[in-house]
Amino acid sequence: LLDLDGARAEAVAEAIGSGSVRAAAADAGDPAALARSLEGVDAVVNSASYRLNLKVMEACVRACAHYLDLGGLYHVTRLQLELDAQFRERGLGALLGMGSAPGKTNLLASAAASRLGEEPRGMEIWAATRDPAVRWVLDQRQTSLKWMLVTCFGYLGYKNARFGRIE
């Protein structure tokens, strides 16, 4: 368990209490230093900001560790995909964009349910796009953005875009 704040990482490891969690301070913004911290680690689950995804992946290549992250913006993902050959050469896997939702939302809901003192009778997890009060506004924004892109880049340029399509 690594964090820029080593004391915080140690507190979390202690709270887990399994005895098998190793905690230390590490700077994910420095791939070389992070790779040294990852020596002997088989896999990394990167839950830091997406802004660090590329650097953490670079550290994983150096440390020969498999990689998983919660995702990020498309421009970061495009850069991450450029590391594919390096991961393949080392026989490593990399899973990008495993998501904070439903991933983190499910974990948070599970943690909340475990504190209820009884089995929950039901559970609903609302994301902004499923909230009927917000859905209409988001749909209108998405439609506006789509037509701005079509206007700027042309229908075929937008339709054939690598990371999107018109429905």
What's this model's pTM, rounded to 2 decimal places? 0.63
Closest CA to 58 of 92, 102, 24: 92
Q: Average pLDDT for residues 77-92, to the nearest whole number?
A: 95
- Per-residue pLDDT at 149: 67
pLDDT-based confidence at 100, cuts 50/70/90? low
Determine the residue type at 8.
Answer: R
Q: How many C-beta neighbours within 10 Å does residue 9 have?
A: 19
**Longest pairwise C-alpha distance within the chain:** 58
Q: Go through 82-94 and write b for each residue having 16 or more CB atoms within 10 A of its CB, e for each that does not.
A: ebeeebeeeebeb
